[in-house]
Structure 1
Amino acid sequence: MTSSFRIRPATSRDIVDAAETLGLAFADYPFTRHTVDSRDHRDRVRSLQRLFLTEIGLRCGNVWVSDDLTAVAVWTTPSSAGLDAAFGDIADQVTDLYGDRAEMAARADEATACLRPTDPVWYLATVGVAPASQGRGLGRAVLEPGLKAARDQGYAAYLETSSPSNVTFYERLGFEVVGSVPLPDDGPKVWAMLRT
């Protein structure tokens, strides 16, 4: 895969703008709409993404961004250290941001746990492109470094999505659906996808 976009590893200076990009990209995403309080929804989603970028992506994983910060991809890897501690550190803040949907979010997480691989994988934790920049190939471009690294290290890449159009997008990148589950509480369907 090649791209004409400049993609680079993220730094702490990128957090605010990268979180804004992810907040915009996920504001109306089916899973997010289902699991994040509708009051101040966009602010909550942006804050969740900022926490995730800071405490999971940059602290424990790998984050790539487009140079203009309109595309962001966050991965955890088999070598990601300290994930349990990092998730523990932000658990209360995440619950607060889920707001009145916190119990639904917990049930959604329980429902999708059965989909996750037991073998080590590169896990695509989140990826997003600012709506105004979509359709130009930025999504594919920002995913390339993680897909290449997973392949070079001999690992599969794994993701979950609740958007049917995303399934088609990821299939074009070599992912295959390996399972799905409807979320409880009348939630959306979630597909698990693997690229070997």
Structure 2
Amino acid sequence: MTEPTAVRVRPATAADLPGAAAALADAFADYPWTRWVVPADDHAVRLAELQHLYLGHALAHGVVLVDDDVTGVVALVPPDVPAPDDATWARVAELHGDRVGRLADGGVAPVPDGAWTLATLGVARAGQGRGVGGALLAAALARVDAAAAPVALETSDARNVALYERHGFTTTGHVGVPAGPQVWAMVRAAR
């Protein structure tokens, strides 16, 4: 029996964004929240472009890490992250189409002062189950721990709650969005 290969994590570059966005689009293809807020028409194309826009903003203002094969990605943004520019917001709204109003249905629990936001964590389906997500999350949290800041997130998949709990998060809120997905808010205290 062979030993599993250690997952190598590194900072993402602009050149990684297309592959990282594709990995996230694949990882979130059937995710309850993205199915709720991204129209079914051209869903995969819309989702990949949205992920690219969001990752570009996170890369400019926060932390984006990938594994060497860019099968997984994690992005965190600081509490003082500026809003995307008007052109980016206009494109985001266009891609969400008539579902853009659903974006406001999140926000299950207040975010602690000074908290970073875990904006996304995903691994392409072909790379899942090999420890990539856990390695990315641990590396990202280590960076925030250096700033002694809490981290907040929301997830719409009950399976993710256990993963985040293993990394020190606790659930601070839970809601079923009317006619939509379940949403769990979680926080990891400053370390």
Q: What does residue 7 of structure 2 align with?
A: 5
Query: 1:21-74: CA deviations, max 9, x gaps?
Result: 0000111100000110000111111110011111x2111111000010001001
Q: Which runs of 4+ in 1 moved over 6 A?
A: none
Aligned sequence identity (%): 42
Under a length normalisation based on structure 2, what TM-score does the superposition of the two structures give? 0.91
The alignment status of 1:92 with 2:85, answered yes or no, reads no
Which of the residues 99, 107, 115 maps onto 1:121? Answer: 115
Matches of 1:168 and 1:25, distance apart in 2 = 18
The alignment status of 1:45 with 2:35, answered yes or no, reads no
Q: How does 1:131-146 map to 2 (within 5 A)?
A: 131-146=125-140
Q: What does residue 194 of structure 1 align with?
A: 187
The alignment status of 1:179 with 2:153, answered yes or no, reads no
After superposition, the Cα gap between the structure-2 partners of 1:140 and 1:87, relative to the gap in structure 1 and judged at 3 Å, is farther
Aligned-pair CA distance for 1:78? 3.4
Corresponding residue pairs, total: 185
Q: Which runs of 5+ in 1 are unaligned?
A: none
Under a length normalisation based on structure 1, what TM-score does the superposition of the two structures give? 0.89
Which of the residues 156, 174, 179 maps onto 1:162? Answer: 156
Q: What does residue 19 of structure 2 align with?
A: 17
Aligned-pair CA distance for 1:114? 5.0
Matches of 1:79 and 1:187, distance apart in 2 = 29
Greater per-residue helix proportion = 1
Matches of 1:137 and 1:87, distance apart in 2 = 35
Query: 1:93-139: CA deviations, max 9, x gaps?
Result: 11111123223x24xx2x32352314011210011101011011100
CA RMSD in angstroms comes to 1.6
Matches of 1:63 and 1:26, distance apart in 2 = 17
